[in-house]
Amino acid sequence: MRQHDPVVLNKFNGKWNRGNPFEVPLDHLPEANNIDSYAQYGFGVRDGVDIYQNVGVPLTNVKRIYNYPTPTGNTLIVLTYDGATGNVYHAVNPTTLFGPILTLAGMEDIAMVPINGRAYISPFKTYPQGGINFEKGLQNEFLYIYKGDGTAARKAAGPTPAGTITIANGAAGHTDPGTHVFGVVGETDTGYLSAPIALNNFVTLAGNSVDFSTVPVFVGAQWTKRHIVASKAIPTFNGDNNGYQLFFIPGATIPNNVGTVLNSISFYDGDLLLDASHLKDNFQEIAAGACLCVYHNRLCIGGQFIDPHLIRVSESGEPEAINQIDGLLTMPADGNPVSNIAELRDVLFGFKRTKTAGWVDNGDVPTAWPYTSVDEALGTCVHGIATNLDSGSSSADFLFVATYQGLILFNGRYTDPELTWKIDTDWLAMNRNEYRKIQLLNDPIRQSIWYITTDRTIVKGDYSNGLNPKAIKWWPFSFDFFVNTIGLVNIGDFVIGADQIP
């Protein structure tokens, strides 16, 4: 023994659980729980936890947390679920809580994206089929929009009322003479424009303006304006009010949802530039889905209960305007619903459990975007793509993706080997039928990637020594509660949503 060189342990690179347990490298630990990196190669006890909320009745049974950036600060959208009913709250800060802003029976989980200070919320749940769990939009439910002010969330888009519009020659003015078709478009407080309603035809005179009366009033406090739309003069009118292209008449707006009269509107056909015809084919109610994202200023929703292999895509800049005919993308109809959607390097990627596909916006309608099959074996789950810091969005340069093979870096293709290579025994031991419980969170400032396991514990990956399978250090954490969801607030506050239900 005197001739034996001692083994110096001066580096600790996290847990190792791969292959033969007797072949663990000396600088790794075969078992590690509730310890964390300390300095460069040391380790110590993980940080403790405290109650985030400082309110009279803190939320319990928290199932999902989303970062919700608003014009006044970073806040949280929080879902609680008691086994029967889901309630969504807006946690402005530890002392201010709004809600519930949405309550639905059977709402087990939600997808959420923030756009222009508003939160778009889609309820979904797990539907077992043939022994396999599938996540799809809550049946007979819809996409909701929340304005961030504490008022209740409402359905995105909106139904149009029945009604008629009366048209007459007005005071002296000008129009191009001939038959025009007129209609009414409603506008909500979030900028959604309805389909044209109350279509009626009228022969205008060159020396007169046009008067409108009995303009329909829309139902709901969200409707704030109504616009008059018109076709250009029709040389040979066929009697069908529905078959002509419609345009917004400049200045022909009733700035409320009360008045029913708008008089003395003059216009030439050459003034009719802004097309309103595409509004005819938009959904009045958008079915709930299991995943949401934003691509090229368009809202994308996938995993709806009906046609779950489709991804619906809105008009650019109009997240509530989804065309029923050409606002869709199709993944293979293989029985698996779309489980996630994300943008990376100007490409929209769609994911199923074991498939990944991509589309590029070519300036045409979404149905004309070229489809590319990226991977026929690897995909991800509903929360299996890491959000970045407290923005709620993915990284701009790559994605962290939870696949059946492991946690993998995705840069347009899946890199090999997986980041969880050191602990692949742990990863592969997770219940594939419970992958909906996995959630990823990336903290690039502290150079950490976090994921929730299907057993509802947390694993931290410290990549301060390098973002590659050999350099990353894995540290499992466990608590005396069950972890459901995680988030970052104000960059540095790591928030855990949990309950005591196994």
Task: List, for residues 340-368, the tens digit of each pLDDT value.
Answer: 999 999 999 999 999 999 999 999 999 99
Burial code of 72-106, b = ≥16 C-beta within 10 A, e = fewer? eebbbbbbbbeeeebbbbbbbeeeebbbbbbebee
Mean pLDDT computed over every residue of the chain? 93
Mean pLDDT of 422-443: 96
> What pTM value is reported for the model?
0.92
Which residues of the chain are in CATH 2.130.10.10 domains?
A: 62-157+283-499
| Mean pLDDT, rounded, for 276-291 | 94
For residue 501, what pLDDT band results from cuts at 50, 70 and 90? low
Q: Do residues 244 and 294 lie in contact, with contact meaning Cβ atoms separated by under 8 Å?
A: no
With 70 as the cut, is the pLDDT of residue 152 above it? yes
As a whole number, mean pLDDT of residues 403-417 equals: 95
Per-residue pLDDT of 308-324, as tens digits, reads 999 999 999 999 999 99
Q: Name the one residue in this structure whose structure tokens are 């992958």.
A: 435
pLDDT, tens digit, 9 for 90 and up, residues 91-128: 999 999 998 999 999 999 999 999 999 999 999 999 99
Residue given tokens 């309608």 in the structure block: 365
Given a cut of 60, whether residue 397 has pLDDT beyond it is yes
Share of the chain above pLDDT 70, in %: 97
What band does 275 get if pLDDT is binned at 50, 70 and 90? very high
* Strands in 214-362 per DSSP E: 223-230, 247-254, 262-265, 291-295, 298-302, 310-315, 318-322, 328-330, 340-344, 347-352, 355-359
* The predicted structure's pLDDT at residue 390: 64
* Best CATH choice for the domain 62-157+283-499 from the list 3.30.530.20, 2.130.10.10, 3.40.50.720, 3.40.50.1820: 2.130.10.10
pLDDT band of residue 22 (cuts 50, 70, 90) is: confident
Q: Of 392-396, 401-405, 448-452, which range is least confident?
A: 392-396
φ, ψ of residue 358 in degrees (nearest 5): -140, 155
Rounded CA separation 154/219 (Å): 13
Task: Check whether 502 has a pLDDT greater than 60.
Answer: no
Q: What is the mean pLDDT of residues 44-67?
A: 90
Q: Is 172 exposed, middle or buried (0-12, 13-18, 19+ CB in 10 A)?
A: exposed
pLDDT over 70 (residue 407)? yes
292 closest CA partner among 121, 59, 476: 121
State pLDDT tens for residues 220-255. 999 999 999 999 999 999 999 998 999 999 999 999
Q: Would you say residue 39 has pLDDT above 80?
A: no
